[in-house]
Structure 1
Amino acid sequence: MNKFLRTYHPYVSPFDPCKPILEKTYSTPPNLFMGFQPPNLPQFSPQEALRAGTLWKAFYDPWFNPFEKPKRGETS
């Protein structure tokens, strides 16, 4: 499982007409856990950086849908 993916259990009201969601997930960005940017971080190539949205590999955080089933060959 993604180390940046967190879960919490919200309050469920007995008067809510909808089926409750007992566990919600959210993603935290990797830069929250890095106090400062150390020198000589590994970098993506310019083409890869445009696709990833960041130059540094340590700050790359792909978004995964928690409700989507893993595709063939992927592990969750």
Structure 2
Amino acid sequence: MPPRSPFDPCPPIGRKFYSTPPHLFLGVQPPDLPQFSPAEALRKGTLWKVFADYYENPYRKGGKPRHG
């Protein structure tokens, strides 16, 4: 949590969370990457499994984070 002065008029930001996309670490896309089926690719938003990245804020209100 970021430090906060007792005289700060703004509400606290709270915890921050971010996800680093997997394509940042891949560089040039190699040939013959494993692929999802067409139906699964539409659900995941990508054809290649290494680029699939599920993001959900673990600090959201209302329960535990899902893993998908």
The match for 1:70 among 59, 64, 68 is: 64
- Residue 31 of structure 1: aligned partner: 23
| TM-score, L = length of structure 1 | 0.65
Following superposition, the deviation at residue 13 of structure 1 comes to 5.3
Task: Give runs of ≥4 in structure 1 deviating > 4 Å.
Answer: none
Bigger relative contact order (CA 8 A; separation at least 6): 2
Q: Aligned partners of 2:57 and 2:16: how far apart in 1?
A: 12
- Residue 5 of structure 1: aligned partner: none
Aligned residues: 64
Unpaired stretches in structure 1, ≥5 consecutive residues? 1-8
Structure exhibiting the larger radius of gyration computed from Cα positions: 2
- SS of residue matched to 1:51: helix
Following superposition, the deviation at residue 50 of structure 1 comes to 0.3
Return closer, same or farther for 1:27/1:62 CA change in 2, 3 Å cut-off: same
| TM-score, L = length of structure 2 | 0.71
Q: Over aligned residue pairs, what C-alpha RMSD do you find?
A: 2.4
Q: Aligned partners of 2:45 and 2:12: how far apart in 1?
A: 35
- Residue 41 of structure 1: aligned partner: 33
Q: Does 1:56 align with 2:48?
A: yes
Q: Aligned partners of 1:24 and 1:50: how far apart in 2?
A: 29
Unpaired stretches in structure 2, ≥5 consecutive residues? none
